[in-house]
Amino acid sequence: MISHIQSSLTEAQTALNNLLANPQALASIEAAAQQLISSLAAGGRIFSCGNGGSMCDAMHFAEELTGRYRNNRRGMAAIAISDPSHMSCVANDFGYEHVFSRYLESHGRAGDVLIGISTSGNSQTIVNAATVARELGMKVIILTGRAATRLEPLADVYVNTPGGQYADRVQELHIKVLHILIELVERHFCPENY
């Protein structure tokens, strides 16, 4: 059993080292942070969404901004699209693939930002959300684990963090990227916390 634990940790370490050594990915993370900062500075809001574990990451990202990340500071305008009543209504009436896009049709506006999280880069729910976000004049940041996906042309910033054969390693890198984005936003608006 120890060998499986070591193998899993080594695989995760390799994925993280590969990300650290990827200048394009690092530049994309920086560009995503700049987009978030610009939107918040202008009174915009950040919407996040994903399916399954990616929804959990989207929710975690939003609560860290509205609540607290490391130290106390004012709340920031972030919303995870995860309201069960909205999602069950839209899934029933329009189809699950519209659960995020309908929310953005109702609440999104020019100057806001969408963070769409899709390990495959091809989730129809995220494709629809990104399409609506662009129609509304929102900026679109995509977190994925693959290149040349359906989401890439819809993104203003495309953060690709390949983690290996399975989605779990990609998700581990996504949570690291999301934490970095939160930290960079905080460093801009609340430098006293650092």
Task: Report the C-alpha gap between 184 and 34 in whole angstroms.
Answer: 9
The pLDDT tens digits for 27-84 are 999 999 999 999 999 999 999 999 999 999 999 999 999 999 999 999 999 999 999 9
Which pLDDT value is given to residue 46?
Answer: 98
Is pLDDT at 4 greater than 90 in this prediction? yes
The pLDDT tens digits for 115-158 are 999 999 999 999 999 999 999 999 999 999 999 999 999 999 99
Cβ-Cβ contacts under 8 Å for 121 (sequence gap 6 or more): 142, 144, 145, 146, 147, 149, 150, 151, 152, 160
Domains of the chain: 2-193 (3.40.50.10490)
Which pLDDT value is given to residue 164?
Answer: 81
Is pLDDT at 166 greater than 90 in this prediction? no
Which pLDDT value is given to residue 143?
Answer: 98
Which pLDDT value is given to residue 17?
Answer: 96
